[in-house]
Amino acid sequence: MVKQIHRLSARAVETAGKAGLVADGGGLYLSVSKSGAKSWRYIFQFSGKRKEMGLGKYPAVSLQNARIKAQDAREMVSSGCNPITERKRQLVQDQARQTTFKSFIDEWLPEIQSEFQNAKHSKQWDMTLNHYAMPLHALPIDGVTTDHVLGVLKPIWAEKPETASRLRGRIERALDAAKARGLRSGENPAAWRGHLQTLLPKPKKLSRGHQPAMPYENIPEFMAQLRTLGSVSALGLEWLILSGSRSNEVMGAVWSEIDEVTGIWTLPANRMKSGREHQVPLVSRHFEILEKVRLLKGEGDYLFPGQRRGRPLSGMAFLMLMRRMNVGHYVPHGFRSSFRDWTGDETDFSRDVAEMAIAHKVGNSVEIAYRRRKAIEKRRELLCQWEVYLSS
């Protein structure tokens, strides 16, 4: 026996006032709340279970439109498809079409800020995805293809291999996040293994960028010149060379990190590129520098205060100082390489001690913890010899 449908009239819908469900037939119901608000429901059986699907509020959805929606849902059920699941899928697809790569990363990047080591790390992510990946910005997030990814990577793959490699990884991460949210499906077009590795040259065959390093034979003369200046930036750069540190580590150094009793500068994990705490043994010249900057100490806790009150030196201070000193194309970061070359060429210290001195990872976590305890005095001895050499 065929169930009667289209039982209701427009007038009956308009005047219905008793709370409850009013059947139109074929699973379509008008739901009337105690407050008098009305909405449409489609009730059906799927996989042996009762399901209920909302079709919209009355009068925004008229009786005629509700019947059309109910008929579409009935046809899905007849074909073995759950209309509720299908509607959710369609909503996700619609959202994906409306979500561009740019709008997605603008929403997603702030959500992963906590994993970045520092503000510089955060800016690097923002710059690569917003500058180099600009050709992807207007594309729907579910429409980014391998060709699109290659289009942003190929122009810089040979010229800027490190940047290109990081860009690829960040695009892959963003697209994986979009997939996890249901905005994409299928394989990741930015994946390296088994995919882009077959279409691009292997990274090890690319010429890696480097920081121009002053030959260690020239550094003692440079240090003598540097010590005649006496400025905060000159003292900071000298500290950097003596300790084999990075510019941002020195510029962000604060008095609370210095233990003058044990002679150790302890850099917390959140200031280190490796994400691990690093200890630097101090040598005699470090203490002389401390006495000099103590006289310059202004507001705030920074060892090397900048011109702005309560702020450290500018991020370009060391580089600009070297430019003013007319030392050619060398950069502050290159002194780490100079120190490493000197250690290998002129001393008998082991590779592990030299690598740990410049905060490079050596071994697994257990070995690192053991060597940190055992090697601190060896590293102090190494830096003492480096100090003597720099003063020669």
Whole-number Cα distances in Å, 99 to 139, 142, 177, 187: 8, 8, 13, 19
pLDDT in tens, the chain (392 residues): 345 788 889 999 888 888 999 999 889 999 999 989 999 999 999 988 899 999 899 999 999 999 999 898 899 988 888 988 888 777 766 665 678 999 999 999 988 888 776 677 788 888 889 899 999 999 998 889 999 999 999 998 888 887 888 899 999 999 999 999 888 888 999 999 889 989 998 764 444 445 688 998 999 999 999 999 989 999 999 999 999 998 899 998 999 999 999 999 998 988 888 788 888 999 999 999 999 988 876 556 889 988 777 788 888 899 999 999 988 888 999 899 889 889 988 888 888 888 888 777 665 554 455 455 557 888 889 999 999 999 98
Task: Give the span between the Cα atoms of 166 and 172, in whole angstroms.
Answer: 10
Q: How far apart are the first and last CA of the chain?
A: 106
Contacts 24+ apart (CB under 8 A), 179-182: 182/92, 182/96
Give the DSSP H or E segment for 32: strand 28-32
In the chain, the amino acid numbered 257 is E
Q: Where are the beta strands (DSSP E) in 218-366?
A: 258-259, 264-267, 278-281
| Alpha-carbon span 82 to 42, nearest angstrom | 12
Return the SS3 of 20: strand
pLDDT confidence of residue 201: 87
H helices within 116-160, ranges in order? 119-127, 146-157
pLDDT of residue 357: 83
pLDDT at 181: 86
Q: Do the strands 258-259 and 264-267 form a parallel or antiparallel pair, or are they unpaired?
A: antiparallel
Q: What is residue 135's DSSP assignment?
A: G
DSSP string, 206-255: SPPP------GGGHHHHHHHHTTT--HHHHHHHHHHHHT--HHHHHT-BG
Give the pLDDT of residue 366.
Answer: 43
pTM of the model: 0.50
pLDDT recorded at residue 162: 79
Q: Could you give phi then psi for residue 304, rounded to 5 degrees?
A: -120, 80
- DSSP 8-class letter at 47: T
Peptide bond into 140 cis (omega under 30): no
CB 283 within 8 A of CB 222: no
Write down the pLDDT at residue 92.
66
Q: Please, what is the Cα angle at 62 between 60 and 63, to 5 degrees?
A: 150
Q: Which residues pair with 258 in a beta bridge?
A: 265
Query: For residue 113, what pLDDT is reported?
Result: 83
